[in-house]
Every structure is written in C-alpha cells, then in structure tokens.
Amino acid sequence: NISDLPDNLNIDSFLRGLGHNRSIQTLCICTDIGESFQTLVPFLRNNNNLRDLTFTCFNIGLQCARNIASLLGQRSSLKCLSFEQANLGDEELVEVAAALRIQPQIEELNLSGNDIGRDGCVALGSILEGMRNPNLAALDLGYNDIDDEGL
C-alpha cells in the first residue's frame, strides 16, 4: 500500500526498488506519485504475479491515465482493477477503457466515486460490448455523474 509516505523518503528510489520485485500480487497506490509514475513502469511491466491494482484518493489526470492504459496493454495477470475516488473523468476513462479491450481476464472493475458522466459510461459500454470472452463479474460505477442516458 503506497500512501502517506514519509516526506524524507525519496519516492523515486522506493519505486525503483519496487521495480525489482516480481512476487507482489496486490498493489494499492493511495497517493499522487506524479511524474514518479514512470519509475513504477518496470514493476508493472515485469511482475507477472500482480492480480490486484488499485489507484485511489488522488487525481489520475489524463497523462497518467494514458500511462496506465499503455501498461494495461502489457499486463495479462490482472484480475481486479480499481480507480476508486481517483477523480477519473470521461476523458481519462476513455483512455483506460480502450486498454480493457485486450484485458478479458479482468473480473472486477471499480470506478466508484469519480467524475464519470454519460460520455464515459457510453465509451465503457462500447468497449465492454466489443470484448471477446469477457470475465467481468463485478463493475462498480457508484457515486458518479451518470444519467439515465449513460446507462
């Protein structure tokens, strides 16, 4: 769980060290790591045991969403993906949702507590509709700005 790290900890050094780990199955990022996200790339790319990835309680932003989507294109072991209260809006969701097309093994997707509106929901629905052999068993869209047209 990466959250509230001490101020004197060099986040880049910590994330570089994490990049050498191949056994972590669950990672929860609960703080804005900003541009240090790139330092996390080797861990996410090389850890074939990662099953549960959570981003929560910080502003993902469009560039970070693009980076996450790019990494999702390389991950095949993920079963659960969560963006709870990550200020994920329609634009960010479109980026992430496109990567889900090639992630049919995802079983749980948590998008609750974000800024997702009708456009994001429609884009997600389109992606999910086009997936081959989807295993998605749980989708949480609670506490978003989705109207009846988005559903």
Per-residue pLDDT tens digits for 59-69: 888 888 888 88
Of 2-11, 99-108, 117-126, 133-142, least confident by mean pLDDT is 2-11
Instruction: Give the CA distances from residue 6 to residues 13, 28, 29, 76, in Å, rounded to whole numbers and listed in that order.
Output: 13, 17, 15, 32
Q: Of the ranges 44-48, 120-124, 137-141, which is most confident?
A: 137-141
> Apex CA 56: angle with CA 50 and CA 58, to 5°?
130
Residue with tokens 């009708």: 118
In the chain, the amino acid numbered 99 is A
On whether the CB atoms of residues 84 and 58 are closer than 8 A, the answer is no
pTM value? Answer: 0.84
